[in-house]
Amino acid sequence: MNTNKDVILKKVNKYCNDSGNLVVFDYEKDLNKEIKRSFLVNCTKETIRGRHAHKNLNQFLVCISGICRVIYKDGIARGEVILENPNQILKIPNQIWAEQHYLKNTSLLVMCDDIYREEDYIRDYKLFLDYRKNLIKK
């Protein structure tokens, strides 16, 4: 069972020159996963999104622009990371509750190691806590 210790913030290479910046993600090397789905969230005003956990899917978050504060919980402890550079990748493993606080004009790239399956989501925090307790019992 994953805990907050399994949430990992990793920096990848960023190449800069006079014409701009290049950030490269090697999915197998940098993420140790095959990416099957990705999506971009663009928020022009301060808002909170996420507020869920996954039973099996792992997510990798990259703040393309702006600032995103990510709060995560394993049912016991709470952690927080500020994403503000596109060469930072935050791994949110399965069985971890996460919410993203988007500050003004923020774009977040989310990469997933599985396709969308509604049954994989836990969208209620109380149900998440029950799910975690049941995992401990097994």
Residue 16 has a pLDDT of 87
Give the CB-side neighbour count of residue 10, counting CA atoms within 13 A: 19
Q: Is the pLDDT of residue 138 over 70?
A: no
Please say whether the beta carbons of 129 and 74 come within 8 A. no
For domain 4-137, the CATH superfamily is Jelly Rolls (2.60.120.10)
* CA–CA gap between residue 57 and residue 92 (Å, rounded): 9
Instruction: Count Cβ neighbours within 10 Å for each residue of 31-42 and write b for 16 or more, e otherwise.
Output: beeeeeeeeebe
Does pTM surpass 0.85? yes
**Active site positions, annotated:** 52
pLDDT tens for 102-114 read 998 999 999 999 9
> For the chain, what are the domain ranges?
4-137
Least confident of 22-36, 59-73, 115-129: 22-36
